[in-house]
A and B are shown apart, each in its own frame.
Chain A
């Protein structure tokens, strides 16, 4: 898995480690799952949580996303500039739990926290 802390940035980075966002990840107020349905972008609010290394989501009733679909899970927080932070997990949706909860198997994770903006360590 490629864990990228925003390769686009140059001298200044807003990226942080996942541990710095543990409260956001453990109890996200805003969790959305994006996917593609018949060629069009789609996104729904989900309940999300992290258990160990697993990213788990509960879809809203009536939402059908096929097993193996490419998805992006977005957990974000904040309203004003220096409180904006988030995690974006790109991966594949899998039915691995058997209890209706689905798992986002990550391929790439990007994080940001504008309140931690700083010079990138060389």
Chain B
């Protein structure tokens, strides 16, 4: 399926299912020297765009500054993969970050299995807190989808 200027609202049911149900996005980018990179990241969808938290110093962010065209793979629980091609940019504005954080909480934190992990791994919370403090330059990769394709499981 090709959907120029597509949004989540115009995507077909399988795409909507992936945007809603997948928990990990794998984003493929091109390095400044023309090589490949792929990273798994958390994501949320807001207003038809895909947002992924990432540090400003990350290789993926470096790559999209040089080559903004990206490929995002979203895998559903049934194994079906939705491929999203789009254009990415890096944002650090507080208002969007707050929206992304609010959308991320019910998806990644306020769920029984997530909470179980937080409790089970509570001895790591101080290390996690320090890990976050050591990366104060966090922002978001924003991907504006341009086309979607669905690959079978």
Contact = CB atoms under 8 A, between A and B. Distances in A.
Contact of B117 (A30, A82, A86): A82
Interface of B: 23-24, 26, 28-30, 34-40, 55, 57-58, 67, 69-71, 73, 75, 81, 108, 111, 113-114, 117-118, 120-121, 124, 127-128, 130-131, 134, 151
Given A39-B34, A76-B40, A117 B131 contact: yes
Contact of A72 (B34, B36, B55, B108): B36
Contacts of A34: 28, 36-38
Contacts of B151: 45
B72 to A, nearest CB: 9
B131 A14 contact: yes
A77 to B, nearest CB: 9
Contacts, number: 106
Interface residues of A, number: 36
A25 interface: no
The 7 closest A-B pairs by CB, nearest first: A34-B38, A41-B28, A82-B121, A34-B36, A43-B28, A12-B131, A80-B114
A74 interface: yes
Given A12-B134, A32-B38, A70-B35, A79 B26 contact: no
A83 interface: yes
Interface of A: 8-12, 14, 30, 32, 34-36, 39-43, 45, 70-72, 74, 76, 79-84, 86, 88, 90, 114-115, 117-119
Given A11-B134, A41-B70, A36 B30 contact: yes
28 contacts: A8-B55, A8-B58, A9-B134, A32-B38, A34-B36, A35-B36, A36-B35, A36-B36, A39-B67, A40-B71, A41-B67, A41-B71, A42-B28, A42-B36, A70-B34, A70-B35, A72-B38, A74-B26, A74-B40, A76-B26, A76-B40, A79-B23, A80-B114, A82-B124, A84-B40, A117-B127, A117-B128, A117-B131
